[in-house]
Amino acid sequence: MKMSKWVSTILLLSFLNPIISKGSSNLAQDFLEFANKNEVFEWMVGVRRKIHEKPELGYEEYETSEMIRKELDKMGILYEYPVAGTGVVGFVGSGEGPFVGLRADMDALPMQEMVEWKHKSKVDGKMHACGHDGHVTMLLGAAKILKQHSHLLKGTVVLVFQPAEEGGGGAKLVVESGILKNVKAIFGLHVAPEQPLGQVFSRSGTIMAGSGFFEAVITGKGGHAAIPQHSIDPILAASNVVVSLQHLVSREADPLDSQVITVAKFQGGGAFNVIPDSVTIGGTFRAFSKASFTQLRQRIEEVIVGQATVHRCNATVDFAVDNKPFFPATINDAGLHKFFQNVAGDVLGVNNVKEMLPFTGAEDFSFYQEVIPGYFYFIGMNNDKNGKPASLHSPFFQLNEDVLPYGAAMQATLAATYLSDSQSQHPENHDEL
């Protein structure tokens, strides 16, 4: 549909007339106020606790997905389902372009919650220890804000509830589904337990590392531990493999090009007096550039196989990319950085918008950024001046629910402002999704 002349004239007038126009600053404050309303806050807390009690692992988020769809139904928001397995993609706004994406990850971790409280995980061995229950809730909160103000939206917000962030690379499948084809930009957030509540943290360019996993089986020949000359000892071989892997970063990588190799798994043997047949080791590696990542991957394989051979063992190396795809580095779009800082300043105050250093964690949000300009940021939730809160992926992790209105308002304001800005820059933009 082409915008008629009088509509664009009215739009133009509304930009010129400060009484009619709602600046992004007003919008930000309205949105935050709405998210802080008692009934909205209580609703978000309720949703979050329900999801927290029923944690589900990557690609198994059936009940979480159903809860999301029920809430979207109640709000009258249309959605597509299934996307990438259990994923849900909602649409709020004019139904026409431009399109802007907001993303939340849905999956929990395979660990036992150790926090004793009323809404503790009801599933043994599974826990929302990375705050994804909060991320989903904040996106539902943003959806409610946007739906309430949908007459102000100059385009369509695409709400991406994505499965399997924890290693599964759900974002890759969402991209491959094609549903984001006409999306012009996408925003994602992560809770930060140690950073102050009411502040956001990010940077332009590379913010998190590329990440991969490896597993190797080192095979020797088992036998009596007291007669080693009749065996080929895979424990000693694997031990040397672990040590040699550490030399890749310390001796082969540029000290200014940060990289990590960690062997986090070492399994073999079961008795004091038996040399086992084989040992399995596994771990992760991180690098910020594609070239360093590729180099590291190749050298990991060479070192494991070569060092095993030194000890008369054989080794096979598996990068398990079928169920744990390599994550690219998370790289924030430079143009969106300025935009983000302005909007975040309007929502939270300029003093609460902080720059951060990159770190070697990884995020599958990077798959979106490979195809669309994307921006990822952290949102603080610590309001305890004395205690040091448990970190992400700790069985003692606790989400501070006071973060929910901030995250919901931030996401909603980013999306709404992005649409107004791009509509005023390209008023002819009317792609179908």
Minimum distance from residue 248 beta carbon to ligand NAG (Å): 24
Minimum distance from residue 263 beta carbon to ligand NAG (Å): 21
Nearer to ligand NAG, 232 or 410 (CB): 232
Q: Is 132 annotated as a binding residue?
A: yes
The C-alpha angle with vertex 108 and arms to 300 and 318, in degrees rounded to 5, equals 20
36 and 395 Cβ atoms separated by less than 8 Å: no
Minimum distance from residue 277 beta carbon to ligand NAG (Å): 8
* Residue in the shown chain whose Cβ atom is closest to ligand NAG: 314
Question: What is each CA distance from 333 to 104, 112, 179, 230, 352, in whole angstroms?
Answer: 19, 37, 21, 59, 21
Minimum distance from residue 232 beta carbon to ligand NAG (Å): 5
433 and 91 Cβ atoms separated by less than 8 Å: yes
Q: Is 224 annotated as a binding residue?
A: no
Under 8 Å CB-to-CB from 79, ≥6 apart: which residues? 69, 72, 88, 89, 90, 91, 159
Residue 258, classed as helix, strand or coil, is: coil
Contacts with ligand NAG by CB under 6 A lie at 219-221, 232, 313-314
Minimum distance from residue 221 beta carbon to ligand NAG (Å): 5
Residue 55, classed as helix, strand or coil, is: coil
Minimum distance from residue 237 beta carbon to ligand NAG (Å): 9
Q: Is 313 annotated as a binding residue?
A: no
Structure tokens at 78: 């249309």
The C-alpha angle with vertex 198 and arms to 196 and 202, in degrees rounded to 5, equals 75
Residue 251, classed as helix, strand or coil, is: helix
Minimum distance from residue 59 beta carbon to ligand NAG (Å): 36
Neighbours of 307 (CB within 10 A): 21
DSSP string for 96-127? SS-EEEEEEE---BSS-----STT--SSTT-B
Nearer to ligand NAG, 32 or 218 (CB): 218
Q: Is 426 annotated as a binding residue?
A: no
Nearer to ligand NAG, 80 or 215 (CB): 215
Nearer to ligand NAG, 139 or 275 (CB): 275
Nearer to ligand NAG, 121 or 219 (CB): 219
Nearer to ligand NAG, 36 or 314 (CB): 314
Q: Is 190 annotated as a binding residue?
A: yes
User: CA 110 to CA 277: how far, in whole Å?
Assistant: 29
422 and 184 Cβ atoms separated by less than 8 Å: yes
Closest CA to 193 of 394, 335, 376: 394
Nearer to ligand NAG, 227 or 256 (CB): 227
Binding-site residue set: 130, 132, 166, 190, 393
Binding-site residue set for Mn(2+): 130, 132, 166, 190, 393
